[in-house]
Amino acid sequence: MKKLFLGAMLLALAISGPIPTMGQVSVQIGIPLPPPITFSAPPETVLLPGTGVYAAPGVAVDLFFFDGWWWRPWGGRWYRSRDYRSGWGYYGGVPSFYGRIPHSWREDYRNHRWNGREWHYQQVPHAQLREMHERNVREEPRHGEREGRR
């Protein structure tokens, strides 16, 4: 009887106590990076009217500058970098600005038209683009001021 009782107690302890395991689970998802774009000089951009987005029409692939980031779609995904030459990282989702850009923006650029109106764009050199962005960041009101709170 003692042996049966002792066996039942050991079984109860084994079931209720944690059992160390040796198993590990590892999940890796490889998202390929887009191929590099070769530049002979920094890309010149144009401001797409009413969007706040700069586009590089002289580059063969879609390349945008918005809010201090360079953006490019590739393979059904979006990538961004602080430097147009390298450092691209996967961005999960579609950037908020993209909905404001018509798919025909390159054709509009070539035809000097935007929304059926004449478009007199100016090329914005890279150095000027960075300078304008840095100035906007410095002049942007703090969060509380933007909402009317101080």
Total structural domains within the chain: 1
- What pTM does this model have? 0.70
Q: Is residue 127 part of a domain?
A: yes
Q: Is residue 24 part of a domain?
A: no
Q: Is residue 58 part of a domain?
A: yes
Structure confidence at residue 11 (pLDDT): 60
Spatial distance between the Cα atoms of 95 and 112, rounded to a whole number of angstroms:
26
Does residue 28 have a pLDDT over 60? no
pLDDT band at 17 (very low <50, low <70, confident <90, very high): low
Task: Look up residue 32 and give its two tokens.
Answer: 């390929």
Q: Is residue 2 part of a domain?
A: no
Structure confidence at residue 37 (pLDDT): 86
pLDDT band at 146 (very low <50, low <70, confident <90, very high): very low
pLDDT tens-digit readout, 62-89: 999 999 999 999 999 999 999 999 999 9
Spatial distance between the Cα atoms of 68 and 88, rounded to a whole number of angstroms:
14
Q: Is residue 47 part of a domain?
A: yes
pLDDT tens-digit readout, 100-119: 999 999 999 999 999 899 99
Structural contact between residues 57 and 64, judged by C-beta atoms closer than 8 angstroms: no
Structural contact between residues 43 and 58, judged by C-beta atoms closer than 8 angstroms: yes
Q: Is residue 48 part of a domain?
A: yes
pLDDT tens-digit readout, 39-53: 888 999 999 999 999
Residues of the domain holding 104: 34-135
Q: What mean pLDDT is predicted for residues 19-36?
A: 66
